[in-house]
Amino acid sequence: MKCVICKHGETKNGTTTITLERGSSTIVFKDVPAQICDNCGEKYVDGKNTKILLKKATELIKNGTEVDIRKFQTAA
């Protein structure tokens, strides 16, 4: 797809690191599947994976996690 940020690049399959912060908690997910612009590097994570990320982060925060770094896995 054409990058909506730079309007010049095309996105390619890749992975990225996503950092989510809420209050005093910081959750980092590595190796998240994404479309990455070959021109500017903008990253696009699809809705399905975004939902998984937010659900896992919410669970971790509810359990009192302040800092967590993990490899992304689609299985809930």
pLDDT for position 75? 63
pLDDT for position 74? 77
With a CB cutoff of 8 Å and minimum separation 6, the contacts of 66 are: 24, 25, 26
Give the pLDDT mean for 29-35.
97
Architecture of domain 11-71: Roll (3.10)
Q: pLDDT tens, 37-74?
A: 999 999 999 999 999 999 999 999 999 999 999 999 87
pLDDT for position 32? 98
Write down the domain spans for the chain.
11-71
Three-class DSSP category at 56 = helix
Q: pLDDT tens, 1-16?
A: 999 999 999 999 999 9
